[in-house]
Structures are given as C-alpha cells and as structure tokens.
Structure 1
Amino acid sequence: MKIEMKSVRKLRVHWPIASESFSRLTKGDVEAFKDEAGIGALLQALSDSPELGDFGNYRHVFESSVGFEGFTCTEGANPTLGQVGRQTISPTFVFTTYFDALLDDAAVERFVQRVVDIHPWEVPVIELTGPISVSSTALPAFHANGAAS
C-alpha cells in the first residue's frame, strides 16, 4: 500500500467537564459524550464546519482524551470555576481535529471564534499548530503492469 500524506493544521481545545462525565469517559462509556452538554456543543460545532476533520471518505474526524487542567486565578479574573488566589484542578476533555493547511485564515478565525463563544472558560485553552503532515489515504501500490500488489 502507498501512504499519501496531507498537509494539515491541528486544532486542540481543552474543555472542562463534570467529574461524573470524566469518570464515565475513563471507563469507556461513550454515551457520556451525549450527556455532557459542553462536549455536545463542541461536537456540534465540528459537524457544522465541514472543513474540519475531513479525511476523504471520513468526515468530522476527531480525537479526544481526558485529563486534568490546573490554574490559579489572579486579581481581575472572573472565573467560572475556582477562586482568585487559589489553585484549581478541573477534569478536562481534550478535543483534537485537523483541517487542510491551505484553509483560508477567515474560515479558521470563524471556527476559533465559535469555540470561544460557546466555551465556558473566561480564557479558553485553544491550540492551533502550523502545517504538519498526516496520513490521509492508503492506496494499493501498482506494479508497472498496472496490477495491484
């Protein structure tokens, strides 16, 4: 098989989740995706943006993991969770998807703004990489006579 590589950019969003959802997800309960409103909103944003997670015959491709996010709010913060001057640890859903590296900046800005608008944090953690390569298709290799190997 011949592997083709595609130039993409990676979008990663850190999203707070309820402890119960965290526990369910770590046990492999995929129904927790449907029951956590924040994850549902994030996945809907993915579905509404066809340029995100496009891998040919597969659409809306994403990866996820769960972990913890830690922070200390300083004076002037208006935290959704935690208190000024105290360290907070929050269960977190980490969402990762990819999009074509040639996607125009306006489209990227629209999606990032949508995530900011629906995100519960005052300052959401959103990572956006420069171009990287990922495998996009695996095609049968052909011999000189045209027969698949």
Structure 2
Amino acid sequence: MKSVRKLRVHWPIASESFARLATGDVEAFEDEAGIAALLEALAESPDLGDFGNYRHVFESGLGFEGFTCTEGANPTLGHVGQRTLSPTFVFTTYFDAALPDTAVERFLQHIVDIHPWEVPVIELSGPVSVSSTAPAAAYASEAAS
C-alpha cells in the first residue's frame, strides 16, 4: 500500500465535448482547450499522478455542476439570481502524501490560475492508501530523489 493524497478538479466543458467524451471519443481530450490545459498542468507537475513506472496517472468522469450566482459574483457562465447547470469534466489524480506543502500549494495555485471559474471546485483529501504492485524499494528510491 502507498500513502497518497487525492486531488479532484471539476472543470467546465462545452456540451459538444461532453457528448463526444460520453461516446468514448478520446480525441475530445485534445480538442477541448480546458481539458488540454489541465492535462498539460499534470504533465508539468512530476509529483502528480506518479505511480512508479507509470506517470501522469489520472481518472476522469463526466457530470454537471449546478449553482446560482449571488450579488457580487462575476460569473464566467450564468447570471446573478439564475440557476445554472454546466457540463463538467471531473479530473482525479494522486500524489505522495509526504510531498511538502510548498509543492502542493504550487500546483494547486497553478490549477487555480488556469481554471476558468471565479471560484473553482478543487478537492484535496488527507492521506489515503492505494494499492500498488510495485516493489516498496522502488518508491523509497524515488522518494529520495
């Protein structure tokens, strides 16, 4: 078992991209600018999605975000007082639970900076265990690097 933290980001996408992804069209990952930016952020952060011999590991799902903007909001989508539903790409990845807070804060700030929402939905878990078939020595040598 390996101790990791989970990072989940909810990212708005176009209805067309949502429909394409729902049918299994993996090219939509590259064609949707927001998803492409998120995957680039993953690739630029070597600590995210590191599973020994596998790098940039992530999971994704499709869903909807719902919200109502109140006075003072500056929404990218929707209007004050109006309920809004947005097709959403849900991105999940993991990183070593022992990663220093400064590194975690750095990649979280990068995601906030590129996210289109005024208030992005970003979830960060405490340590959880994930199964691993890689030898423990491989993780120990990588952690020392």
Contact persistence 2:59–2:93 (CA under 8 A):
yes
Find the counterpart in structure 1 of residue 97 from structure 2.
101
Aligned equivalents of 1:95 and 1:37: distance in 2? Answer: 14
Tell me the amino acid that sits aligned with residue 91 of structure 1.
P
Higher strand proportion: 1
Q: CA deviation at 1:137?
A: 1.6
User: Which residue of 115, 120, 125 maps to 2:121?
Assistant: 125
Find the counterpart in structure 2 of residue 38 from structure 1.
34
- After superposition, the C-alpha distances for 1:6-54 in whole angstroms (9 at most, x for unaligned) are 0000000000000000000000000000000000000000000001100
**How do 1:79-94 and structure 2 match up within 5 A?**
79-94=75-90
**Runs of at least 4 residues off by over 2 Å:** none
- After superposition, the C-alpha distances for 1:73-108 in whole angstroms (9 at most, x for unaligned) are 000000000000010000000000000000000000
Find the counterpart in structure 1 of residue 143 from structure 2.
none
Aligned equivalents of 1:130 and 1:114: distance in 2? Answer: 20
Number of residue equivalences: 135
Higher helix proportion: 2
Find the counterpart in structure 2 of residue 26 from structure 1.
22
TM-score w.r.t. structure 1 length? 0.89
TM-score w.r.t. structure 2 length? 0.92
Q: CA deviation at 1:138?
A: 5.4
Aligned equivalents of 1:137 and 1:51: distance in 2? Answer: 19
1:136 equivalenced with 2:132 (yes/no): yes
Percentage identity across paired residues of the two chains: 82
The gaps in structure 1 that reach 5 residues or longer are 140-149
Q: CA deviation at 1:136?
A: 2.0
- After superposition, the C-alpha distances for 1:95-145 in whole angstroms (9 at most, x for unaligned) are 000000000000000000000000000000000000000012256xxxxxx
User: Which residue of 41, 55, 58 maps to 2:54?
Assistant: 58
